[in-house]
Amino acid sequence: MKGPFSGSPNHSKITMISLSLVMILIMTFVSCAKEQESQPYRIAVFVPGIVSGSPIYEMLVAGAQQAADEHEQAVVQVIEGGSNQGLWEESISTLAASQEHDLIVTSNPAMPAIAAAVSAKFPEQRFAIMDGALEGNEAIYTLRYDQQQQAMLAGHLAGLITASSMSGANDQLKIGLIAGQEYPDMTDLILPGFTAGAQTAHASVTVEFRVVGNWYDAAKGSELARAMIADGVDVILPIAGGANQGVLTAAADAGTYVLWYDTNGYALQKGTVAGSTAIRQDKATYETVVKAIEGTLPFGSAETVGLERGYITFIEDDELYLELVPQEIRDQQHAFIESMMQ
Amino acid sequence: MTYSILAYGIPILLAAIGGYLTDISGKMNIALEGLIMVGAFTAYGVMAATSSYLLAFTAAALVPALISAGYETLTTVYHGNIFVTGLAVNLLLPGLTALLSVRIYASSGVLSLQTDHMLSSVTLLQIITVITLIVFVTAYGILHQTKAGLLLRAAGLNRRAFEIRGGSPDAVQRTAFALSGLLCGLSGAYLTLSLHAFVPNISSGKGWLALAAIYLGDRRLSGLVYAALFFSVAEYAANRAQGLFDMPASLFLGFPFLITFLGLFVKAMFRSRRNDHKKP
Amino acid sequence: MRRYRDTAAALCAAAAAVVLLLTILSPDPAGTIGSLIRGPFANTYTFGNMLATMSILIICGAGMTISFQAGLFNLGGEGQIYSAGLAGAVIGLLLPVQTGIIGTLLIMIIGTAVGALIAGVSGYLLYRFRIHELISSFLLSGALVYFVDFLISNPLRDTDGFLQSTRQIPQAFRLPSILPPSNLTSALFFAVITAASLAFWLYRMRGGYELRVFGTNPSFAEFGAIPHKRYTILPMLITGACYGLAGTLMVLSTQYAAIMGFTAGYGWNGIAVALIAGNNPILVIPAAFLLAWLETGIRTAMSGSSLSFDMSNVIRGIILLSITLRLAGSRRRSMK
């Protein structure tokens, strides 16, 4: 027998050859099976994450799909990018390099910068980006939701509840925000908005801010929430992906309240979720993609939408909200929403 | 505080005992992270279907045990490297769970349990603490008092001698792997049942911390308890620190690792000083 | 000969498993398999990216072989790559643009040093205090990853952009592209040189010989007057240096900035590559090629057909499993 390492080069050569053989075999088999169809308007939806279980991305896909369904000459393909930011640019570049898509639709505050970088390499590619902002690149259209406004809605209700005599509210005027990570929109828009909203409701409310460090560690989310609750926080807004679940459990155990962000969350934990904002990403995506198919999307411009046009809502008509939150607080919250619309 | 420390430490301790059993059998199971995931997912499925804690825990223990023993066998039969197959299994299991989740529940996101007749978090923690105590005492007893424990350690210490005596180290190692899967499964089941939901990536590095606990505990069974306790206190302190100091919250996320590292360092420094004194 | 037949059989089994899985789960199995295999060769862009991925894998894997050969285990690759990448990006932002190529070299040297230093700490702690390098490198890396995360998302963040990232380093420091617009740069040459010189040192020079003796049998090495200190610390330094180099090269050739979480599991893949290559730095090259092919194939399949993200991890797992089951079988020395 040869030495431990001298035998290996041959070995891997043979491996490589056999591997190649297997692959070539499958390749020929595959090539026969593939055909090209005629050229409709081809849309790629790039999801910087995973669709399933993420309402924001589910709405993104649904909106694009609906637009394509209504236009015979349009097809949609969904690509999941996973949660590693470092790989998004390469994935988008690969999409652009394939030249198989007339439009790439995606959603995330980080995507405009990535799209701009890809656009420098592949200037022909067109992008429509939801939930992000970039003006002046002729290949890119962006639409963003007014996150500060949305956070203010949540903050205002939190301020009302913590100062109220609701059974889960204590004497202290402390509310909390738990984020998955510290990202620009979080520190620059959401946290200030949440604080401003709460202080509009009651001037001396203070906001505790905690970070989970990722978007999935539910046990840590739960632990951070418990620590906050022990410090006297009685309303928490979690924006931490899967870790939200931990916050929900901790608050339910302690009998305090949670506010939900982006989607209707009242039914997730009855008696705990006391308020919910939502964004209409499906509507925004649908309208954007329809304009793109019809050739009327103003590439190069950046839009900001919010409460006024119905892209951000505070869900007031859910039965669980009506049951849990007293009339007086609901009226004040309603008045606040009306004032924001102006 | 006790609640927080136990809730964080118990899942790590359970998995660490499992990993430790494989370690002393001479072949370490590094797929603990993936096995915890599988346990958590199985517990969700069975709990959602039957609403029985007993069935959920049992199934959550058995499925990862089978997977663990299965991949160990495959690796032995095909002369693979247990470390790389372990890495591969760690990649494979979360992916498979997500696929199954989409197939069965049409979502790979958070899966919530009906909370109507669920135990409270505190009761569940008491149950899992008792289970862990039993596991620990049993493991201690078996390892130090029985022939089976002797075999386990012998397989790890000297494979050749073991074979010459007519024993089968492979069988011993397979058993150790099955047990480690079982314990990871219990750990995962606890995570799901206490959250009232299965969350993707629910293990969140607990499997890796369990492996670290084995070394931090000087590869002794009792050491695992101290190590898990140390991690939990460090985590608790870091979570608390986020609110206490006027500094960016994310600065404290790495603290549990840092504190543990420093603890390891200080402990080793004292030990080495003591040894220096002993020497002439 | 039987071993080779088994290898082929294992690979066929893997291929069959993947095909079966895709047939059941993918809406377009043929298309997915097609792009999985042909993807990396479909155009210069994907081909270049495959070679770029391979370059980084070679460096990580080659570095890892050295500590494995010495019987040491560096589990801190992620933290070493990440910290070195950040250090490189910061130096790149501080240096005046006029330094040009010298600046690039300086960035690489500092990044490499940072990686070496971090791993070296674990080596020293093992030598001086007998702290297991596996646990100390893991913990140190865990702490560093979060600390670098913090630095990137707070004090060093590029406040003009929305990505969690530092500012981009100036054009002048970036490595020259090969096959634009792909990510391939002269990093490939650094990779091959690293692997070749490590192999030469390991198999042709006294130091490498002593290291291998030390790794196989430390007590025998003691009789041969092989310094214990050197071969506990040096291998860790080399491994860390390689990870550090890999981190800076990623910044200099593809990311141009330290982006949050850019290490993307290279620390772990380095271990896999080294083990598949039987801890031989030269064999790291084909092993890295194999993994890079797989990785690029999966990525093209994900963008070209409807291969979901979860599905891609399953395929990665299956293929990694089957490659190791036979390939690593040729290794005699087991992990300690």
Tokens 């870091």 map to which residue?
B238
The total domain count for chain C is 1
**CB-CB under 8 Å, C272 with B254:** no
Domain boundaries, chain B: 2-221
Give the torsion sign (CA, C152, C153, C156, C160). Answer: positive
Per-residue pLDDT for C248 more than 50? Answer: yes
**What pLDDT does A13 receive?**
52
The predicted pLDDT at position C11 comes to: 65
Q: Which residue of B has its CA nearest to A217?
A: B204
The pLDDT, as a whole number, for residue A154 is 97
Contact residues on chain B for C326, CB-CB shorter than 8 A:
78-80
Question: Mutate which of C153, C177, C303, C326 to test chain A, going by most A C-beta atoms within 10 A?
Answer: C303
Confidence of residue A2 (pLDDT cuts 50, 70, 90): very low
Residue of A182, A226, A246 with shortest CB distance to B4: A226
Q: Decide if C300 is inside a domain.
A: yes
User: Is C335 contained in some domain?
Assistant: no
SS3 B111: strand
Q: How confident is residue C181, by pLDDT bands cut at 50, 70 and 90?
A: confident
Q: Is residue C280 part of a domain?
A: yes
CA atoms within a 13 Å half-sphere pointing along the CA-CB vector of C283: 28
Of all residues in chain C, the one with the smallest CA distance to B109 is C310
How large is the average pLDDT for residues A52-65?
90
Of C35, C282, B49, which Cα lies nearest the Cα of A6? C282
Contact C335/B216, CB-based, under 8 Å?
no
Q: Is the pLDDT of residue C334 over 50?
A: no
Q: Domain A41-145+281-309 maps to which CATH number in 1.20.1250.20, 3.30.450.20, 3.90.1150.10, 3.40.50.2300?
A: 3.40.50.2300
Question: Does residue A278 belong to the interface with chain B, where contact is any CB pair within 8 Å?
Answer: no
Confidence of residue C330 (pLDDT cuts 50, 70, 90): very low
Chain C partners within 8 Å of A80 (Cβ): 302, 308-309
- Domain encompassing residue C58: 2-330
Question: Confidence band (pLDDT; 50, 70, 90) for A321?
Answer: very high
| pLDDT above 70 as % of chain B | 98
Interchain pair B107, A53: CB under 8 A: yes
A282 in contact with C at a CB cutoff of 8 Å?
Answer: no
Of the partner residues B74, B75, B248, the one whose CB lies closest to the CB of residue C150:
B248
ipTM of model: 0.87
Indicate the burial class of A318 (C-beta count within 10 angstroms; 0-12, 13-18, 19 or more).
middle
**DSSP3 helix / strand / coil % (chain C, rounded to 5):** 75, 0, 25
Q: Is the pLDDT of residue A38 over 60?
A: no
Which residues of chain B does C67 touch, with a Cβ-Cβ cutoff of 8 Å?
Answer: none
Q: Which residues of C touch B200 (CB under 8 A)?
A: none
Task: Determine the residue of chain C that is closest to B93 in CA distance.
Answer: C314
* Chain A residues whose beta carbon lies within 8 Å of the beta carbon of residue C262: 85-86
Shortest CA gap C176–chain B (Å): 34
C-alpha distance from A226 to closest chain B C-alpha (Å): 8
| Residue C201, pLDDT score | 95
- Which of A7-11, A226-230, B201-205 comes out lowest in average pLDDT? A7-11
The answer to whether residue C171 neighbours chain A at the CB level (below 8 Å) is no
Report the pLDDT value the prediction gives residue C240, as an integer from 0 to 100. 97
pLDDT tens-digit map of A138-149: 999 999 999 999
Q: What is the CATH number of the domain that holds C181?
A: 1.10.3470
Contact between C328 and B80 using a beta-carbon 8 Å cutoff: yes
Q: What is the pLDDT of residue A215?
A: 85
In this predicted structure, the answer to whether residue C12 has a pLDDT above a threshold of 80 is no
d(CA B174, CA B183) in angstroms, rounded, equals: 14
Query: pLDDT-derived band of residue B174, with 50, 70 and 90 as boundaries?
Result: very high
Q: Look at residue A9 and tell me whether its pLDDT is greater than 90.
A: no
Residue numbers in B near C324 (CB within 8 A): 80-81, 84-85, 88
A147-279+311-341 matches A41-145+281-309 in CATH topology: yes
pLDDT, tens only, A252-299: 999 999 999 989 999 998 999 999 999 999 999 999 999 999 999 999
The predicted pLDDT at position A23 comes to 55
Q: How far is the C-alpha of A281 from the C-alpha of C121, rounded, in Å? A: 49
Q: Which of A110-119, A313-322, B268-277 has the lowest mean pLDDT?
A: B268-277
Judge whether A303 is closer than 8 Å to chain B, CB to CB.
no
Do the Cβ atoms of C273 and C291 come closer than 8 Å? yes
Does residue C305 lie within any of the structural domains?
yes
Q: Which CATH architecture has domain A147-279+311-341?
A: 3-Layer(aba) Sandwich (3.40)
Domain layout of chain A by residue ranges? 41-145+281-309, 147-279+311-341
pLDDT at position B117: 73
CB pairs under 8 A between B and C: 142
Q: Is C167 on the interface with A (CB under 8 A)?
A: no
pLDDT class of B277 with cuts at 50, 70, 90: low
pLDDT tens digits along C215-235: 888 777 777 777 888 889 999
Q: Do B248 and A182 touch (CB under 8 A)?
A: yes
Mean pLDDT of chain B: 89
- Judge whether residue C121 has pLDDT over 70: yes
Please name every residue paired with A260 in a beta bridge, in sequence order, or none if there are none.
A276
Give the residue with greater pLDDT, C180 vs C292.
Answer: C292
Poorest-confidence range of A20-34, A193-207, B150-164?
Answer: A20-34
Between residues B270 and A7, the one the model is more confident about: B270
pLDDT at B227 over 60: yes
Q: What is the pLDDT of residues A209-243, one digit of tens each?
A: 999 988 889 999 999 999 999 999 999 999 998 89
For residue C124, what pLDDT band results from cuts at 50, 70 and 90?
Answer: very high
Whose CA is closest to B87, among C317, C76, C265, C293? C317
Mean pLDDT for the stretch of residues A51-68: 90
Task: Tell me: pLDDT of C6 over 70.
Answer: no
The answer to whether residue C316 sits within a structural domain is yes
- Whether the per-residue pLDDT at A319 is higher than 90: the answer is yes
Residues B66-120 have pLDDT tens digits of 999 999 998 888 778 888 789 889 888 988 998 899 889 888 788 988 767 788 8
Percent of chain C residues past pLDDT 90, beyond the cut: 44
Name the closest residue on chain B to residue A228, using Cα atoms. Answer: B243
